[in-house]
Chain A
Amino acid sequence: MSGPKIYAEVFGILITETMVNTWIVMGIILVFTFFATRNMQKVPKGMQLVGEMIVKAIDNLTENTMGKKNMGFAPYMLTLFMFLGIANLLGLVALRPPTSDLAMTLALALLTFFLTQFFAIKSKGVGGFLKGFTEPIPLLLPINIIGELANPISLSFRLFGNMLGGVIIMTLIYGGLTNLMFFAGGIPILAHLYFDIFSGLLQSFIFVMLSMVFISMAME
């Protein structure tokens, strides 16, 4: 088992497998959004229809979870979901999912973390924000602070742990199967079904849902 490969070094910045695969995900999203928004029709069909269905689904989810007044977050949540969804599915085409690198998931979790803090301060004011840490009793101040810092850690490691777990187990399965050519057809398909498609999409969804809940709770 090894970490993401390092391909090159440009001006002291390491170009890793994670970065290259992230570019691939970005490319897929760009190509999709480009073609889905060409020749837009009043009655959608083809890729425009798919695009509209995705946007509609995330809009509904945002409205149900965060309330009508927070619909402005829907584009961010949609971006997050599209990126995570496609990134987690890369294992299907034998690419290492960028989300199996802690650097990637921690960056995304920190985005949510800072959004949470920013909108908490914005809606409650600096005083109200700081006072929130001394509730229900001031004695709990250190616990509240550590509890708040534990959120981005658990958010990033939840995704990272699940994806890396999938990568490790898939590697072991493929390694073990070289001796068992007879079964080689079925076992990886089932494992991909669970670790890449099911677990990957579910973890993307959970990441987005928790981001929504964290941000909207902070604004109450």
Chain B
Amino acid sequence: METNFIQWFFDFIMSYEPKVIIACASVIGAGFAMITGIGPGIGQGYAAGKGAEAVGNSPKDSKSIISTMLLGAAIAETSGILALVVALILLFGNPLIGASGSMVVIASSAIGAGIAVIAGMGPAIGQGYAAGKATEAVGINPRSSKGVTLVMLVGQAVAQTTGILALVISLILLYGNPFASMEGAFIILGASALGAGIAMVGGIGPGIGQGYAAGKAAEATGKRPDQQSNITKIMFLGQAVAQTTGIYALIVSLILMYSNPFL
């Protein structure tokens, strides 16, 4: 018996209403988006662990330790919230349902939009690490808490970058999808939409790395609060270099969207 699985799969899909398939794809995309939750889980767990350790070592400073930990952990939550927003858009305010264009392309875009925000896992882990290190530094030297918190916040904000770029790609796939109006084989267009989302997952790496840099910078500020501006500068330079692969991911994703070589 000779069977062509891909042919069979598309025949099977085509036997349903386009709206049903797009709704199915959106639900799958929303599920993918929430995988991001792994990141805040790990990151905030680390921060909480460091917080418990710091309070154990110096119980009298528990107030400043806990406030640093909560602030840092709340930032590590950002990616989770952004992913939740994408999932909620896919579930409740889906702009793709009713969009014109090939059903396979629209459905792939919905899944791609969900997969893209998984990148937020990286920033969340990195930011959690930074929050943990800052908490530790405040526990050791409570008088440095202001400088440590500032360095942590700036470092975490930079570590968020790849997560935000992924959100941008996800929103483009949802609201300004260039594939819907493109000419070409629907299977290439659909695969490209999926690929544009998958490429952004590369942002996990820079997010973790930049968060590590932020954590170490916060630790260093705790030891030498007078060197805060120098430490911030070095951290920033290192983070900018660590950003590079995240930018590669963005470039590949944008090429797939706007100057696809296969079309």
Contacting pair B81 A162 (CB below 8 A)? yes
**Chain A residues whose CB sits within 8 angstroms of the CB of B85 once the complex forms:** 161, 164-165, 168-169
Contacting pair B74 A158 (CB below 8 A)? no
Chain B: which residue is nearest A146 at the CB level? B247
Docked complex: B130-165 residues within 8 A CB-CB of A: 147, 150, 153-154, 157-158, 160-161, 164-165
**Chain B residues whose CB sits within 8 angstroms of the CB of A162 once the complex forms:** 78, 81-82
Contacting pair A1 B157 (CB below 8 A)? no
**Chain B residues whose CB sits within 8 angstroms of the CB of A168 once the complex forms:** 85, 88-89, 93
With beta carbons under 8 angstroms apart, the residue of B74, B153, B247, B251 that contacts A205 is B153
**Chain B residues whose CB sits within 8 angstroms of the CB of A140 once the complex forms:** 244
Which residues of B come within 8 Å of A, CB atoms? Answer: 71, 74-75, 78, 81-82, 84-85, 88-89, 92-93, 147, 150, 153-154, 157-158, 160-161, 164-165, 167-168, 228-229, 232-233, 236, 240, 243-244, 247-248, 250-251
Contacting pair A158 B243 (CB below 8 A)? no
- Chain A, residues 181-220, CB within 8 Å of chain B (1/0): the string is 0000000000000100011001001100110010001001
Q: How far is the CA of A29 from the CA of B243 in the complex (A)?
A: 37
Contacting pair B240 A1 (CB below 8 A)? no
Contacting pair A147 B247 (CB below 8 A)? yes
CB proximity of B183 to chain A, nearest CB, Å: 28
Report if A157-B88 is in contact (Cβ < 8 Å); known contacts: A147-B247, A150-B247: no
Q: How far is the CA of A172 from the CA of B150 in the complex (A)?
A: 33
**Chain A residues whose CB sits within 8 angstroms of the CB of B89 once the complex forms:** 1, 168
**Chain B residues whose CB sits within 8 angstroms of the CB of A64 once the complex forms:** 147, 150, 228-229
**Chain A residues whose CB sits within 8 angstroms of the CB of B168 once the complex forms:** 153, 157
Contacting pair A209 B82 (CB below 8 A)? no
**Chain B residues whose CB sits within 8 angstroms of the CB of A172 once the complex forms:** 88, 92
Q: How far is the CA of A220 from the CA of B84 in the complex (A)?
A: 39
Which residues of A come within 8 Å of B, CB atoms? Answer: 1, 64-65, 67, 140, 143, 146-147, 150, 153-154, 157-158, 161-162, 164-165, 168-169, 172, 194, 198-199, 202, 205-206, 209-210, 213, 217, 220
Interface CB pairs A-B, < 8 A, 11? A64-B147, A65-B232, A143-B244, A143-B248, A146-B247, A150-B243, A154-B165, A158-B164, A165-B82, A209-B154, A213-B236
Chain B: which residue is nearest A140 at the CB level? B244
Q: How far is the CA of A202 from the CA of B74 in the complex (A)?
A: 10
Report if A209-B153 is in contact (Cβ < 8 Å); known contacts: A157-B168, A161-B164, A168-B89: yes
Q: How far is the CA of A217 from the CA of B236 in the complex (A)?
A: 9
Contacting pair A150 B250 (CB below 8 A)? yes
Chain A: which residue is nearest B254 at the CB level? A146
Using A147-B243, A169-B81, A194-B74 as known contacts, list a sample of 6 further A-B pairs with CB atoms less than 8 Å apart, ordered by residue number in A.
A153-B165, A157-B164, A165-B85, A202-B74, A213-B236, A220-B233
CB proximity of A32 to chain B, nearest CB, Å: 26
With beta carbons under 8 angstroms apart, the residue of A150, A165, A202, A220 that contacts B75 is A202
Report if A67-B229 is in contact (Cβ < 8 Å); known contacts: A165-B82, A202-B74: yes
With beta carbons under 8 angstroms apart, the residue of B75, B78, B236, B244 that contacts A147 is B244
**Chain A residues whose CB sits within 8 angstroms of the CB of B164 once the complex forms:** 153-154, 157-158, 161
Q: How far is the CA of A130 from the CA of B23 in the complex (A)?
A: 49
Contacting pair A217 B244 (CB below 8 A)? no
CB proximity of B123 to chain A, nearest CB, Å: 11
Contacting pair A150 B161 (CB below 8 A)? yes
Chain A: which residue is nearest B243 at the CB level? A147
**Chain B residues whose CB sits within 8 angstroms of the CB of A161 once the complex forms:** 82, 85, 164, 167
Q: How far is the CA of A19 from the CA of B229 in the complex (A)?
A: 37
With beta carbons under 8 angstroms apart, the residue of A67, A147, A209, A220 that contacts B157 is A209
Contacting pair B247 A143 (CB below 8 A)? yes
Chain B: which residue is nearest A1 at the CB level? B93
Q: How far is the CA of A64 from the CA of B221 in the complex (A)?
A: 13
Contacting pair A213 B78 (CB below 8 A)? no
Contacting pair B157 A65 (CB below 8 A)? no
CB proximity of B147 to chain A, nearest CB, Å: 8
**Chain A residues whose CB sits within 8 angstroms of the CB of B250 once the complex forms:** 146, 150
